């Protein structure tokens, strides 16, 4: 019989579109002994997670908790709970994740009205205004930070337009949360989801979500049952709320990890954390200049935590990425869709957003591109 060795992963510096590196104490938190999912100590910790999540999302929403699953599970949670067959939904698409939202809304039976911008650019408020004028939307959905292109779309005006049209506003904050300002109550967002693996310095596995009282009411007063048993908020709230009834077994160790990750974020301070991401982005852009490399996404709306670095003429994008990984243990991402082969996606997310890592990446790129 074949014998297998224990798996020992190499140590990589994760500077791609996610996952990013986890904070060391987040990883040690995961090695703690398991508790039962109804253990009073675990329940106490769940309460702390909800409270810390409200601080990080900047919301007072009671219905704020982590869904079991990755960021996409958070996306699915929002759509399956809020959408019923025949609903009109405006989806803003300027990259991969807007396309995923449109796919999900269609699977829920929605009539999807698409608002599209070229990849790398932001969604303009006038586009949304035009779209909502032509239908009676139940929901407007927007990706805050498009990880596939490196563009950050301003949210406030679009949210205002959605509400004036009588719609709920849904926001994807998978890559923005913990890396730049996210203000759920200040921006009047009704439904939001995120993921642990981008700027929260935590492994993939949980999707923090939050629903406003209005969104929750929408989910509670549906004509039809939520199509997903696993993601039905009416059942999940029985476990994450005060009743504590069993729905599915919470991923215990992942919740330990998220607790520690959120604790670290609040210890650092939201403003200080955003500023760290900003400064390391500026350091990267400055260093790239001396290599004659620029950022491909729209000027003035470039993400700090995900940099779409332009591949110069005559350079093979994939070869550079492979050398970064093989020779320097650095992972960066490739371009997707229309940006395939044209950009490298360099993530400076959470624990991976550090000046020393920016410098290590720039040194490696200098050697690879200048040849030696
Ligand atoms: C990564 C990402 C997702 C999906 O998250 P997974 O953890 O891969 O399921 C959704 N939206 C955005 C903007 C992302 O960057």
Task: State pLDDT tens for residues 22-70.
Answer: 999 999 999 999 999 999 999 999 999 999 999 999 999 999 999 999 9
Query: Cβ(183) to ligand 1 under 6 A?
Result: no
User: What are the tens digits of pLDDT across the range 17-27?
Assistant: 999 999 999 99
User: What are the tens digits of pLDDT across the range 262-283?
Assistant: 999 999 999 999 999 999 999 9
In the three-class reduction of DSSP (H, G, I as helix; E, B as strand; rest coil), residue 90 is classed as strand
pLDDT of 230 reads 98
pLDDT of 309 reads 98
**Nearest ligand 1 atom, CA 146:** 13
Q: What percentage of the chain reaches a pLDDT higher than 70?
A: 100
pLDDT higher than threshold 60 for residue 213: yes
Instruction: Give the confidence band of 371 by pLDDT, cuts at 50, 70, 90.
Output: confident
In the three-class reduction of DSSP (H, G, I as helix; E, B as strand; rest coil), residue 63 is classed as strand
pLDDT higher than threshold 60 for residue 173: yes
Mean pLDDT of 84-109: 98
Query: Cβ(95) to ligand 1 under 6 A?
Result: no
Query: Cβ(331) to ligand 1 under 6 A?
Result: no
Identify each DSSP E strand in 139-270 by its residue range: 139-143, 145-146, 151-152, 168-172, 191-193, 206-211
Around Cβ 183, how many Cβ atoms within 10 Å? 14
Query: Cβ(98) to ligand 1 under 6 A?
Result: no
Count of helices and strands (H, E) across the chain: 12, 14
Cβ atoms 77, 53 nearer than 8 A: no
Q: Which residue's CA is the nearest one to ligand 1's atom 3? A: 71
Residue 26 tokens, joined: 């987040």
**Nearest ligand 1 atom, CA 75:** 10
Architecture of the domain delimited by 24-266:
3-Layer(aba) Sandwich (3.40)
Q: What is the dihedral of CA 258, 159, 220, 98, to 10 degrees?
A: -60
Distance CA(264)–CA(266), nearest Å, equals 6
Around Cβ 314, how many Cβ atoms within 10 Å? 5
pLDDT higher than threshold 60 for residue 250: yes
pLDDT of 168 reads 98
In the three-class reduction of DSSP (H, G, I as helix; E, B as strand; rest coil), residue 237 is classed as helix
Cβ atoms 91, 105 nearer than 8 A: yes
Mean pLDDT of 143-168: 98
pLDDT of 306 reads 98
Measured in angstroms, how far is the CA atom of residue 359 from the centroid of ligand 1?
27
**Nearest ligand 1 atom, CA 73:** 9
Query: Cβ(175) to ligand 1 under 6 A?
Result: yes
pLDDT of 1 reads 84
**Annotated domain spans of the chain:** 24-266, 270-370
How far are the Cα atoms of 63, 184, 230, 235, 334 from residue 238, in angstroms, in the given order? 11, 24, 13, 5, 41
Q: What is the mean pLDDT of the chain?
A: 97
User: What are the tens digits of pLDDT across the range 290-344?
Assistant: 999 999 999 999 999 999 999 999 999 999 999 999 999 999 999 999 999 999 9
Architecture of the domain delimited by 270-370:
Alpha-Beta Complex (3.90)
Measured in angstroms, how far is the CA atom of residue 232 from the centroid of ligand 1?
20
- Angle 212-238-234 from CA coordinates, rounded to 5°: 55
């Amino acid at each position: 019989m074949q014998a297998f060795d224990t798996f020992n992963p190499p140590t990589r510096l994760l500077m791609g579109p996610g996952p990013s590196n986890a904070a060391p104490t987040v990883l040690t938190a995961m090695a703690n002994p398991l508790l039962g999912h109804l253990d009073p100590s675990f329940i106490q910790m769940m309460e702390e997670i909800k409270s810390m999540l409200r601080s990080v999302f900047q919301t007072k929403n009671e219905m704020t908790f982590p869904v079991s699953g990755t960021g996409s599970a958070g996306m699915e949670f929002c759509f399956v709970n809020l959408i019923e067959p025949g609903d009109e939904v405006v989806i803003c698409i300027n990259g991969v994740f807007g396309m995923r939202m449109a796919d999900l809304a269609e699977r829920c039976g929605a009539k999807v009205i698409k608002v599209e911008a070229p990849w790398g650019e932001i969604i303009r408020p006038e586009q949304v205004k035009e779209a909502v004028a032509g239908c009676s939307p139940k929901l407007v959905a927007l990706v805050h930070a498009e990880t596939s292109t490196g563009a950050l779309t301003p949210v406030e005006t679009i949210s205002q337009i959605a509400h004036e049209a009588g719609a709920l506003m849904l926001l994807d904050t998978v890559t923005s949360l913990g890396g730049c300002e996210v203000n759920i109550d200040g921006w009047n967002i009704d439904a939001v989801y995120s993921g642990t693996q981008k700027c929260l310095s935590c492994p993939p596995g949980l999707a923090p979500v939050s629903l406003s009282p209005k969104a929750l009411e929408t989910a509670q007063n549906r004509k039809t049952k939520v199509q997903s048993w696993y993601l039905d908020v009416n059942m999940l709230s029985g476990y994450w709320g005060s009743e504590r009834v069993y729905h599915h077994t919470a991923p215990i160790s992942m919740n330990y990890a998220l607790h520690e990750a959120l604790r670290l974020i609040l210890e650092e301070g939201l403003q200080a954390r955003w500023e760290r991401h900003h400064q390391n982005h500026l350091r990267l852009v400055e260093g790239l200049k001396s290599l004659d490399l620029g950022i491909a996404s729209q000027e003035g709306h470039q993400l700090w935590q995900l940099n779409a670095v332009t591949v110069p003429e005559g350079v093979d994008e994939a070869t550079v990425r492979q050398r970064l990984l093989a020779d320097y243990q650095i992972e960066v991402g490739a371009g997707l869709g229309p940006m395939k082969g044209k950009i490298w996606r360099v993530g400076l997310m959470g624990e991976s957003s550090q000046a020393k890592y920016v410098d290590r990446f720039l040194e490696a790129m200098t050697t690879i591109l200048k040849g030696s």
